[in-house]
Amino acid sequence: MKHVISALVENQPGVLARIVGLISGRGFNIESLNVAPTQDAGLSRMTMTVPGDDRVLEQVMKQLNKLVDVVKVTDLTQRRYLNRELALIEVAAPAKSRAEIVGLADLFEAKVVSVQSGSLTIQMVGEKEKVNDLIEMLKPFKVLDVSRSGVIAVARGEQVKP
């Protein structure tokens, strides 16, 4: 199972390194990680996707809560939450395939953001699974490059405050 963990942290130098070191030092993996400031300039939100069972989740949560720079840790996995990921996907696009690739992007509500002589770059914003589905559908055209932001998430219908 993959757990989506949101951590509100003090916006200080070294916080990211301490958190990543703490998790990886315990032998746990971080599948995706996104960090950005919140509406409060002194705080940042870290969104992590951590694979593992409930024991892994429990250990990660306990370890994070011990850090002084961590204000609040929330497991969003069992809550109502919204998640999005941004992906830029460059796909080979000879003239004869362009219309089909553009049509496929449209079906996924993605946009063509750059056109090169032999390829197109598609921007996709959506849930991780939907991004994965688009990439899978583009594979027959030859995906040349993919850059993904990692998951960002926020609880739905509730205030998550420190």
- Give the pLDDT of residue 10: 94
Residue 154 burial (C-beta neighbours within 10 Å; 0-12, 13-18, 19+): middle
Residue closest to 14 by CA, chosen among 32, 35, 40, 31 = 35
Identify whether residues 133 and 103 lie together within a single domain: yes
Torsional sign, CA 154, 82, 54, 18:
negative
Which residues are CB-neighbours of 52 under 8 A, at least 6 positions away? Answer: 1, 3, 28, 29, 60
Total of domains in the chain: 2
Identify whether residues 57 and 103 lie together within a single domain: no
Assign residue 36 the CATH number of its domain.
3.30.70.260
Whether 64 is in a domain gets the answer: yes
Residue 62 burial (C-beta neighbours within 10 Å; 0-12, 13-18, 19+): exposed
Whether 19 is in a domain gets the answer: yes
Q: What is the mean pLDDT of each run of 10 residues along the chain (162 residues)?
A: 91 91 87 92 93 86 90 90 95 96 97 96 96 97 96 77 49
Q: In the structure encoding, which two tokens stand for residue 144, read together?
A: 């040349």
Identify whether residues 13 and 52 lie together within a single domain: yes
Identify whether residues 67 and 104 lie together within a single domain: no
Which residues are CB-neighbours of 20 under 8 A, at least 6 positions away? Answer: 30, 33
Identify whether residues 92 and 148 lie together within a single domain: yes
Residue 111 burial (C-beta neighbours within 10 Å; 0-12, 13-18, 19+): middle
Assign residue 116 the CATH number of its domain.
3.30.70.1150
Q: Residue 63: which domain range?
A: 2-75
Cα–chain center distance at 128: 7
> Contact, 44 vs 66, CB < 8 A?
no
- Give the pLDDT of residue 158: 61
Whether 157 is in a domain gets the answer: no
